[in-house]
């Protein structure tokens, strides 16, 4: 989020950012947000966890939005705040099919009052928002199926973009050991058993290793240690070098997420590609099935069967033997994950939405 907001301010927009943070996140973001001209940042205390805390954050969010002329509401809880505040013009940045994802991962109980309320929020956002930001084109058809064709003209695809200067490309490391990288937040959305099995099968072919870089401890640390893998952390400034030190990036989500995968595009995918590294993803993840096939710079895994994993490893071996794979990865990042292009699309969407209202 930080690069987008800073980019908007750098283009001359006057931005007031309200966020609900824990102290650690505030400290990490402050050096950038606090020093950006044209940007005023209001970090609010996160408050209580759970449904009650979430409802309180929605109410607090509605209070700070009153009087705003244009609001960019990031995800469904922020959309609920905008619906309550009723600004004259607002953008729903849907990020994912929020409630579907949380039902699939067990954070929200199917049929619960929370699910019913948040589905009403989604319907309200689709109807009343002046513009809709999606992370993938594949999400737009599902939005139209749920809420009617009138949502389509309001949609703009702004995926999880990357600062291409920060994540610069580099040649692949020496091929003596194939180095896989699992980076970023590791949560229940990811299919860790499949990724571990893939690396284990790769090790039977030739020396292979997995690095896990996460902002902090994960619920799977014991499983990782059982596979002799330790989780470590690095500063954000060191991530490009870490990515370039590996051959392949991993970002395999759980198939149980179902329809919510259509709207998902993990940030790490764009970072791997920008650094010139092919990626391994699951089928149905945003637009990646098509993008990776068009540029021939990644592998789509459809299930956990032995035959499918061996096919994926054959594809990885082929890509790593191709001298042009890093260049193709970079071209895809420039075409689809460019931060400057993403910010420009947001500005254009704001202008269209404000003109309509």
Q: What is the DSSP string of 61-101?
A: HHHHHTT-SSEEEESHHHHHHHHHH--SSEEEE--S-HHHH
Q: Which domains does the chain have, with CATH numbers?
A: 47-161+338-356 (3.40.50.2000), 178-336 (3.40.50.2000)
Average predicted confidence (pLDDT) for the chain: 92
65 or 35, which is more confident?
65
Per-residue pLDDT, averaged over 228-242, amounts to 88
Nearest Cα to 20, choosing from 69, 58, 67, 70? 58
Write the pLDDT tens digit of every residue in 110-144: 999 999 999 999 999 999 999 999 999 999 999 99
Angle made by CA atoms 42, 80, 161, in degrees to the nearest 5: 65
Per-residue pLDDT, averaged over 204-211, amounts to 95
Write the pLDDT tens digit of every residue in 70-102: 999 999 999 999 999 999 999 999 988 999 998
**Which residues are registered as beta bridge partners of 36?**
none
Name which of 26-30, 167-171, 352-356 the model is least confident about.
26-30
Task: Give the full edge-to-edge strand order of the sheet including 298-301.
Answer: 231-232, 208-213, 178-183, 248-251, 279-282, 298-301
Q: What is the separation, in whole angstroms, between the first and last Cα of the chain?
A: 26
Nearest Cα to 256, choosing from 200, 193, 306, 210? 193
**Contact yes or no for 246/179 (Cβ under 8 A):** yes
Write the pLDDT tens digit of every residue in 14-42: 999 999 987 665 555 566 677 778 889 89
Per-residue pLDDT, averaged over 340-351, amounts to 95
Q: What is the per-residue pLDDT for 30?
A: 64
Q: What is the per-residue pLDDT for 216?
A: 80
Percentage of the chain exceeding pLDDT 90: 73
C-alpha dihedral, 182 to 183 to 184 to 186, nearest 10°: 20
Write the pLDDT tens digit of every residue in 266-291: 999 999 999 999 999 999 999 999 99
Q: What is the per-residue pLDDT for 357?
A: 62
Per-residue pLDDT, averaged over 184-193, amounts to 87
CA 229, CA 177: separation in Å to the nearest integer? 16
């Amino acid at each position: 989020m930080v690069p987008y907001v800073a980019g908007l301010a750098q283009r001359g927009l006057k931005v007031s950012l309200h966020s609900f943070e824990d102290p650690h996140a505030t400290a990490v973001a402050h050096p950038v947000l606090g020093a950006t001209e044209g940007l005023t940042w209001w970090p609010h205390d996160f408050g209580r966890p759970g449904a009650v805390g979430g409802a309180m954050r929605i109410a607090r969010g509605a209070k700070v939005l009153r009087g705003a002329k244009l609001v960019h509401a990031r995800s469904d809880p922020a959309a609920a705040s905008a619906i309550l505040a009723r600004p004259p013009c607002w953008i729903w940045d849907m990020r994912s099919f929020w409630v579907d994802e949380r039902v699939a991962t067990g954070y929200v109980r199917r049929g619960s009052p929370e699910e019913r309320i948040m589905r009403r929020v989604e319907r309200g956002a689709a109807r009343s928002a002046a513009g809709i930001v999606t992370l993938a084109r594949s999400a737009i058809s599902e939005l139209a199926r749920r809420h009617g064709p009138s949502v389509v003209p309001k949609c703009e695809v702004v995926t999880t973009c990357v600062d291409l200067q920060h994540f610069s490309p580099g040649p692949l490391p020496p091929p003596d050991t194939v180095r896989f990288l699992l980076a970023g937040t590791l949560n229940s959305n990811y299919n860790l058993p499949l990724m571990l099995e893939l690396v284990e099968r790769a090790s039977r072919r030739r020396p292979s290793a997995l690095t896990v870089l996460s902002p902090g401890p994960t619920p799977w640390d014991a499983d990782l240690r059982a596979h002799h893998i330790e989780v470590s952390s690095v500063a954000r400034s060191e991530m490009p070098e870490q990515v370039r030190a590996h051959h392949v990036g991993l970002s395999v989500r759980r198939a149980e997420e179902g329809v919510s995968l259509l709207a998902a595009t993990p940030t790490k995918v764009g970072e791997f590609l920008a650094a010139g590294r092919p990626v391994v993803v699951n089928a149905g993840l945003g637009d990646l099935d098509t993008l990776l096939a068009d540029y021939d710079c990644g592998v789509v895994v459809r299930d956990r069967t032995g035959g499918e994993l061996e096919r994926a490893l054959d594809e990885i071996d082929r890509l790593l033997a191709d001298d042009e794979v890093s260049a193709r990865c970079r071209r895809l990042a420039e075409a689809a994950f460019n931060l400057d292009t993403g910010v420009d699309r947001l500005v254009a969407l704001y202008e269209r939405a404000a003109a309509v209202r």
